[in-house]
Every structure is written in structure tokens, then in C-alpha cells.
């Protein structure tokens, strides 16, 4: 049975320091190699925190990586060019994303989301825009959701 270490790292910027180094050291793997591989596989998520699982075979000391996808919130904030969402999402709007970007995020995160159709998943991402204080194509995401449900885009 392989040993596992689960961490959340910034895309392309993992280091041999905590939390990785202390967790991997006792498993006998070359921490530098693991860090280099993590950075190579997560560089496309620069500026976002990415879940990574390192599986180590205790017999051979070989490792494999399972790189997750950043959360929907991180993808939306990157798309909007913002560091963080609004502290008062109902009253303070911090940015705007396009419906096309929302659809791409829903498709990219499809395996991690509930919903039977892509349209239902798009609606979930629009709902996340509400809590972050983001508009969608300049429109209030709550109004957009109501409009989409009226038109049957959630079926």
C-alpha cells in the first residue's frame, strides 16, 4: 500500500519547505525531484492554490502525483483578475467575468461538480459569482440565473 501526502500548493511554486519537505522526508523520496515534478505539472495554475496528492511506494520509493484542479472560486477570480472576492457580495461588486468564461470553468470542473447537464453546472458557477461579488457580462448573477431558469437553461 502506498503512502500518501496531500497538500495544497501554489501553482508552479512548491518548495521543499513545509508542508512538503517534512511530510515527504520520512518516506525516503528525493524531495527535490518531487517538488520539481509538482512545479512542472502545476505551472499552468500560477497564482492559484492547487490540490496535489503525492503517492509513494514504500518498497521502491518511487512516487506518482495526482494533481487536482483549483476550486471554482480560484478560477473565477483569476478570470476576473482579482486576488479575492467581495467581503460584502450583495452590495460590493469587485469584478466581471464573461458567460463564455463561466461555461469554460463549468466544463473544466465538470467532474468535480454535481448536476446532470453542462447548463446546470454553468448555473452553479454563476451562483459562485454571487458569493464572490462578480457580475457576469455586466449583469447581476442572480438576475441572470432567474432568466436562465425561466428560459429552461437548467433542464
What is the C-alpha to C-alpha distance for residues 21 and 96, in angstroms, rounded to an integer? 39
Question: What is the predicted pLDDT for the residue at 104?
Answer: 94
**Looking at per-residue confidence, does 154 or 42 come out higher?**
42
What is the C-alpha to C-alpha distance for residues 108 and 151, in angstroms, rounded to an integer? 24
Question: What is the predicted pLDDT for the residue at 153?
Answer: 58
Q: Tell me the β-bridge partners of 134.
A: 95
Count Cβ atoms within 10 A of the Cβ of residue 120 and give its class: 0-12 exposed, 13-18 middle, 19 or more buried. middle
Question: What is the predicted pLDDT for the residue at 155?
Answer: 43
Mean pLDDT along residues 59-79: 91
Own/partner pairs, 78-83, CB within 8 angstroms, 24+ separation = 78/47, 78/48, 79/105, 80/132, 80/134, 82/134
Domain regions of the chain by residue span: 3-67, 72-151
Mean pLDDT along residues 75-81: 92
Q: What is the CATH number of domain 72-151?
A: 1.10.10.250
Q: What is the CATH number of domain 3-67?
A: 3.30.1550.10
97-154 residue pLDDT tens: 999 999 999 998 888 898 889 999 999 999 999 999 999 999 999 999 999 888 875 5
Cell of 56: 509513494
Amino acid at each position: 500500500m502506498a503512502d500518501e501526502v496531500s497538500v495544497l500548493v501554489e501553482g508552479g511554486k512548491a518548495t521543499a519547505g513545509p508542508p512538503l519537505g517534512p511530510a515527504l522526508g520520512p518516506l525516503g523520496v528525493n524531495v527535490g525531484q518531487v517538488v520539481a515534478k509538482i512545479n512542472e505539472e502545476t505551472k499552468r495554475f500560477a497564482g492559484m492554490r492547487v490540490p496535489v496528492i503525492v503517492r509513494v511506494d514504500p518498497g521502491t520509493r518511487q512516487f506518482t502525483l495526482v494533481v487536482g484542479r483549483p476550486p471554482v472560486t480560484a478560477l473565477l477570480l483569476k478570470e476576473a483578475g482579482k486576488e479575492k472576492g467581495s467581503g460584502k457580495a450583495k452590495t460590493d461588486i469587485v469584478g466581471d467575468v464573461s458567460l463564455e468564461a463561466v461555461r469554460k470553468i463549468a466544463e473544466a470542473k465538470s467532474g468535480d461538480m454535481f448536476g446532470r447537464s453542462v447548463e446546470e453546472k454553468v448555473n452553479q458557477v454563476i451562483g459562485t459569482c454571487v458569493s464572490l461579488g462578480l457580475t457576469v457580462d455586466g449583469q447581476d448573477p442572480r438576475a441572470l440565473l432567474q432568466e436562465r431558469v425561466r428560459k429552461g437553461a437548467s433542464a
